[in-house]
Amino acid sequence: MARIAFIGAGSFGFTRGLVKDILTFPNLRDSTLVLMDIDEERLKYITLAVKKIIEAGKYPAKVISTTNRAEALKKADAVICTILAGGVNVWRHDIEIPKKYGVDMNVGDTRSVAGVFRALRTIPVMLDICRDMERYCPDAILLNYTNPMAMLCHAMQKVSKIKITGLCHSVQGMPGRFAKWLNIPADEITYLSAGINHLSWYLELKHNGKDIYPQIRKVVSENKKIYNEELVRNEMFLHLGYYVTESSGHNSEYNWWFRKRPDLLKKYCLKGTAWNPGEHAFILKHYLARDKNWKNDIKKWLAEKDINLERGHEYAASIINAYMGGEIFSFNGNVPNTGIITNLPEGSCVEVPVFVDRMGFHPVHVGALPPQLAVLNNVSVAVENMAVDASLSGDPMMVYYAIANDPLSAAVLSLAEIKKMVQEMLLKNKAYLPQFKNLKIS
């Protein structure tokens, strides 16, 4: 009987979907599902939702809910983390303060100024979770869904011996779009993806063993409707030769090319037809709207007579099943770079193919990325590593050095302007930065 702990279980959509997936496995149908959240009201509703799934599937599973993290982690076999340190209103400051200085962000959960400050707030909490796991469930695996993925995983993997990987749904999501563009079955596409989170690359894309990149280049170049779906990603593909895994809006923040001038923002980040082309604060607005209506949405779902119990496409359930002795599973996960990608720094967090079995995670050697891709990844890795070092050491100057080399900030601001912006951000986040004894940048 597996014991699976959800830390931040009040993330209703994630928890509900992952529980549904977990219970589809015969090996996991009698699991004990421990739901932990600091928000008692959200915890109450997600507990009702999980009980509804168990009853609908007639599973012999058990559900426990608690606000005590240590209690949740005791004797766990697997831990799933979906927390948001500081909440949505603090995230708002991450977006609004940089905009005042000219740094325009779309998401702000992974890189650039907002991503770094989200990491600074979240790393202490994640390290506390690791310390609790070392005490209460040292053999458990930790599956992290919280962003900024690479910085959080790098910090945890650097200081903890817990088996940790980070999971993102962008890698497995895009091949379905390729299949639609080329009118071929999605399950016949195979791929090799590697890089860093949200900046991984499909190094190989094949249909029945044949390279489909020439066909993708043709439809992206000749079909205006397809080109307009993903303006940023399609531009990157046409000029760099490989397709990036994460959406256009996200990727517009991770480089120098698309968000530094109003005309470029208008051309590439406002006219795309996919769900998030790059509008300012798009995801923040989405979260604020969802937060406003979260209780009504949950009540509506709980009132539904019939619910879908089919397994989804997230990796977590299949990983836990393999770790608990089920079928070996392969996925793309965030792990330390132990020579896996040879032209990215050793020890940095990379997103690569991984196999999981009852012994844990086994990353697959990739080799060198094409140089035009490696340079983008290396810049982000350097910023991320400095941000992690800043958090672990409590050094405000290292925060400044990290953001001074952020491509988006550097594209629009001088060094002095970046210093002023970072100082304001540090002071605004004071209540969430216990690791910093001094917040003054010299």
Report how far residue 220's alpha carbon sits from residue 121's, in angstroms, rounded to the nearest whole number. 40
Residue-wise pLDDT for 159-182, tens only, equals 999 999 999 988 998 999 999 999
In percent, the amount of the chain with pLDDT more than 70 equals: 100
pLDDT at 88: 85
- Point out which residues pair with 357 in neighbouring strands: 360
pLDDT of residue 190: 97
Residue 12 pLDDT greater than 90, yes or no: no
Residue 89 pLDDT grade (very low, low, confident, very high; cuts 50, 70, 90): confident
Q: What pLDDT is recorded for position 293?
A: 85
- Residue 14 domain flag: yes
β-strands 141-144, 163-166 pairing: parallel
Give the pLDDT band of residue 287 (cuts 50, 70, 90): confident
> Is 139 a member of any domain?
yes
Give the mean pLDDT of the chain: 97
Residue 328 has pLDDT above 90, yes or no: yes
Give CA–CA dist 164/157, Å, rounded: 7
- Let me know if residue 77 belongs to a domain: yes
Structure confidence by residue, pLDDT tens digits, 368-381: 999 999 999 999 99
**C-alpha to C-alpha distance for 187 and 210, rounded to whole angstroms:** 14
Model pTM above 0.75: yes
Its sign, for the CA torsion 429, 435, 438, 442, is: negative
Q: Spell out a b/e string for 151-164, using b for 16 or more CB atoms within 10 Å of the CB, else e.
A: bbbbbbbbebebbb
What are the E-state strand segments in 106-252?
Answer: 141-144, 163-166, 189-196, 199-207, 210-211
What confidence category does residue 47 fall into, taking pLDDT thresholds of 50, 70 and 90?
Answer: very high
What residues make up the domain containing 130?
3-166+304-323
Q: How far is CA 288 from CA 49, 232, 349, in A?
A: 22, 25, 30
- Average pLDDT, stretch 332-344? 98
Q: How far apart are CA 119 and CA 215, in angstroms?
A: 39
Residue 103 lies in a domain: yes
CB of 352 closer than 8 Å to CB of 341: yes
* pLDDT tens-digit readout, 112-149: 999 999 999 999 999 999 999 999 999 999 999 999 99
- How confident is the model at residue 290, as a pLDDT? 82
Report how far Cα 133 is from the mean position of its chain's Cα atoms.
21
CATH number, domain containing residue 133: 3.90.1820.10
What pLDDT score was predicted for residue 289? 84
pLDDT at 382: 98
- Taking Cα atoms as reference points, which of 211, 209, 203, 207 lies closest to residue 366? 203
Q: What are the catalytic residues?
A: 169
265 domain-assigned: no
Band of the pLDDT at 292, cuts 50, 70, 90? confident
Give the pLDDT mean for 393-420: 98
Residue 87 has pLDDT above 90, yes or no: no
Q: Is the pLDDT of residue 151 over 90?
A: yes
The total of structural domains in the chain comes to 1
Tens digit of pLDDT for each residue in 225-255? 999 999 999 999 999 999 999 999 999 999 9
Confidence of residue 316 (pLDDT cuts 50, 70, 90): very high
Predicted local distance difference test score (pLDDT) of residue 71: 98
